[in-house]
C-alpha cells in the first residue's frame, strides 16, 4: 500500500511537470512561428498554413486546408489570396473534379523559410537521437493523441463562440444581423 501512495504522488508530480512542459513547448512554438513569420512579412496563420501544406506533401485542396487550420472557407480563401499574391503558393484546378481547387507550394519560394528552420531541425535531431525506438514510439503516440485532443477542443471552441440559436445563411454561416426597426 505504501508503494502505491508513493507511486501516486510521483505520478501526480510527473503529470504536473509534463503539463507545464507541454505548455512551455506550445508557447515556444508560438514564439518561433511569430519570429519566423515576421522575418518573411507573414502573419503566423499564413506561416502555419504553409507548414500544413508542406506536411500534406506540398499540395492540398482549399477544403483540406480549411480543415487542417480550423479556418472558415472564407478565411481560408483570404489567407490563400495573401499567400498567392506573395508568391508562396499557386492555385490549380483539380484535373479530376473541376469544382475543386488545389493549392500547391512554390518550392523555390519557401526554400528561404526552410533554410531558417534547418539549424533548429538539426538540433532537434540531436535531441531525438537520445531516445530508443520504443521511446520514440511512445512520444509519437503522446504527440498524436495530444494533437487530436487540441484539434477537437478547437472545433468545440469555434462552435461555442456563437450564441445558441444564431441564425444561419444558406451556406451555413452566421447570418448578417438585421438592424432593429427605428422608433421614429
**Is there a domain that residue 21 lies in?**
yes
Task: Say if 176 falls within a structural domain.
Answer: no
53 found inside a domain = yes
- What range does the domain containing 55 cover? 8-157
- The C-alpha angle with vertex 128 and arms to 124 and 130, in degrees rounded to 5, equals 130
Query: In this structure, is residue 41 part of a structural domain?
Result: yes
CA angle 151, 155, 157 (to 5 degrees): 110
Residue with the three cell numbers 508557447: 27
**What is the DSSP secondary-structure string of 129-162?**
TTS-HHHHHHHHHHHHHHHHHHHHHHHHHHHHTS
Domain for residue 63, yes or no?
yes
Cβ–Cβ < 8 Å for 24, 30: no
Phi, psi dihedral angles at 183 (to 5 degrees):
-100, 35
Q: pTM for the whole thing? A: 0.76
The per-residue pLDDT string of the chain (184 residues; one tens digit each, 9 = 90 and over) reads 555 668 889 999 999 999 999 999 999 999 999 999 999 999 999 999 999 999 999 999 888 888 888 888 889 999 999 999 999 999 988 788 878 888 999 999 999 999 999 999 999 999 999 999 999 999 999 999 998 998 888 878 877 876 666 665 555 555 555 555 555 5
Q: Is residue 71 assigned to a domain?
A: yes
Q: Does residue 171 sit within a domain?
A: no
**CATH number of residue 134's parent domain:** 1.10.10.10
In a domain, residue 91? The reply is yes
Give how many domains the chain has, as a whole number: 1
CA distance 6 to 36: 44
Amino acid at each position: 500500500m505504501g508503494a502505491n501512495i508513493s507511486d501516486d504522488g510521483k505520478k501526480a508530480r510527473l503529470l504536473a511537470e509534463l503539463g507545464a512542459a507541454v505548455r512551455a513547448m506550445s508557447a515556444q512554438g508560438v514564439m518561433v512561428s511569430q519570429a519566423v513569420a515576421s522575418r518573411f512579412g507573414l502573419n503566423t496563420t499564413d506561416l502555419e498554413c504553409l507548414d500544413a501544406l508542406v506536411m500534406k506533401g506540398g499540395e492540398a485542396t482549399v477544403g483540406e486546408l480549411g480543415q487542417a487550420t480550423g479556418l472558415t472557407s472564407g478565411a481560408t480563401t483570404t489567407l490563400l489570396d495573401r499567400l498567392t499574391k506573395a508568391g508562396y503558393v499557386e492555385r490549380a484546378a483539380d484535373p479530376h473534379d473541376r469544382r475543386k481547387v488545389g493549392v500547391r507550394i512554390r518550392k523555390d519560394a519557401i526554400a528561404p523559410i526552410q533554410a531558417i528552420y534547418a539549424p533548429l531541425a538539426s538540433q532537434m535531431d540531436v535531441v531525438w537521437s537520445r531516445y530508443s525506438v520504443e521511446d520514440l514510439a511512445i512520444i509519437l503516440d503522446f504527440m498524436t493523441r495530444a494533437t487530436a485532443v487540441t484539434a477537437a477542443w478547437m472545433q468545440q471552441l469555434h462552435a461555442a463562440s456563437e450564441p445558441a440559436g444564431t441564425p444561419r445563411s444558406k451556406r451555413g454561416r452566421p447570418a448578417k444581423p438585421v438592424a432593429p426597426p427605428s422608433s421614429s
